A and B are shown apart, each in its own frame.
Chain A
């Protein structure tokens, strides 16, 4: 066992991880959104988006338009929701904008999903980003891993195996 070789390998691993992290955070800064790439988790926007589709977000717009598909997070609920803007009311002078959303595949609007007693979302506070780009299905693996308890072990096993076999 060569200590220097092991250390170099460890350094390489650190480099890969940190560059991935930097890429993610850089994208966050560029798009002004804390999660610039998301995976669709529900079928409420079908047939536009299915579970596992990957969406690219942008959050540097000052106001949302009607028809925009936005991701929002309601205070106290941790799950981000992808739905379409049905109505918008904004002030000409101030920055404030109120939005009502609805899932294409849902019968009614999203008022039951909002925080208690509120009828609208606030653009500044609740919106994580607006959907700009779309890639189908490639995010399904993350859903599979998070929802299947054996998938995690399979991933671990695969990683371990590749580490063992990976000696050049």
Chain B
């Protein structure tokens, strides 16, 4: 009646059941704690965004068949305190600065691109205070140029838990800029050829 296999099965069943309960408890309480700390409405100030445009012809910068492609980079300031995102179920925070912009006139595209991101694994590093920081990525668009389009920047975050659901959110506060109009794309290409 009480064979070794049966005992093993009973014990492992119990272990799995309790583990599930503990995991659910941890996930729920950590979410409640986030809500209580107003983690879903953290203020952030994004300032001093200076865009710059480069023309690239490599595939790894979005160019296809050697056609010139505008790549944009930015310099920016950010102040935000993300420490309320840390609790006992936070393994890491992934913060990212994105820009949303639409296609040029007559196109019905909407775009969102990441300029900068960071992995934060400790509460001590959760105070973001960046000045004249450079964007991490060189961003190109589906279209050849960014010329004169407006982009809306926002800081967003993702909590990677020890166990449970991934939680996403965004900070309050955004900044809109206009990409500069570059008129002489042709000339730059010529210079390269020479």
Residues of A within 8 A of B (CB): 47-49, 65-69, 84, 86-93, 98, 104, 108-109, 111, 117, 119, 131-136, 162, 165-166, 168
Contacts and interface: CB of A to CB of B under 8 A. Distances in A.
B163 A86 contact: no
Nearest to B64: A119
Rank and list the top 5 A-B pairs by shortest CB-CB distance, nearest first: A87-B113, A92-B108, A48-B160, A66-B112, A89-B111
Given A92-B109, A104-B119, A165-B5, A119 B163 contact: no
B68 interface: no
Nearest to A133: B165
A133 B94 contact: no
Nearest to B102: A92
B165 A119 contact: no
Given A65-B112, A134-B161, A168 B3 contact: yes
B137 interface: yes
Contacts, number: 90
Interface string B140-181: 011000000000000010101111111010000000000000
A67 B158 contact: yes
B96 interface: yes
Given A98-B142, A168-B3, A86 B162 contact: no
B23 interface: yes
A70 to B, nearest CB: 12
Contact of A134 (B1, B109, B163, B168): B163
18 contacts: A47-B119, A48-B94, A66-B96, A66-B98, A67-B168, A89-B109, A90-B111, A91-B108, A92-B109, A93-B108, A117-B64, A119-B59, A119-B64, A132-B166, A133-B165, A134-B163, A134-B165, A165-B5
B165 A89 contact: no
A132 B98 CA distance: 21
A89 B5 CA distance: 55
Contacts of A69: 158, 166
Scoring A48, A49, A109, A162 by chain B CB atoms within 10 A of each residue's CB, the highest score goes to A48
B165 A87 contact: no
Contacts of B91: 47-48
Given A67-B96, A91-B108, A119-B64, A133 B166 contact: yes
B113 A86 contact: yes
Scoring B5, B59, B91, B114 by chain A CB atoms within 10 A of each residue's CB, the highest score goes to B114
B5 A134 contact: no
Contacts of B4: 165
A133 B106 CA distance: 40
A96 to B, nearest CB: 10
A168 B168 contact: no
B121 interface: yes
A91 to B, nearest CB: 6
A166 B5 contact: yes
A133 B160 CA distance: 10
Contacts of A135: 23, 163
Nearest to A47: B92
Interface string B1-43: 1011100000000000000000100000000000000000000
Contacts of A133: 164-166
